[in-house]
Amino acid sequence: MITVKKVFEEEHCAIFARALLQGIGYCHSKGIIHRSISAENTLIEINLDHPMKPVTGGKIIDFREAIQVKTDTFELNTEEN
């Protein structure tokens, strides 16, 4: 079920932001740079069974613009190279 909520509480925004930043940090730790983080490329995880704490996290999607970085040499691996 998809629902639209136009206003989120500060606590819910903090949960989503934390999950988003953890996701970005994980990608970077694996040498992956997303290059296209936007509202359209993120998903908010919502738990409808707990109305007091509906936001449980977030996910990053659409890695078409992503590149991989060789962390030991700082070379970029792109399709163009």
The CA distance from 46 to 54, in Å, is: 5
Domain boundaries, the chain: 10-77
7 or 77, higher pLDDT: 7
- For 9-76, the DSSP string reads -HHHHHHHHHHHHHHHHHHHHTTEE-S--SGGGEEEEE-TT-TTS-EEEEEE---TT-EEEETTTTEE
Give me the pLDDT at residue 7, please. Answer: 72
* pLDDT, tens digit (0-9, with 9 covering 90-100), for 65-81: 999 987 665 555 556 54
Average pLDDT over residues 48-64: 78
Give me the pLDDT at residue 19, please. Answer: 85
Which fold, 10-77? Transferase(Phosphotransferase); domain 1 (1.10.510)
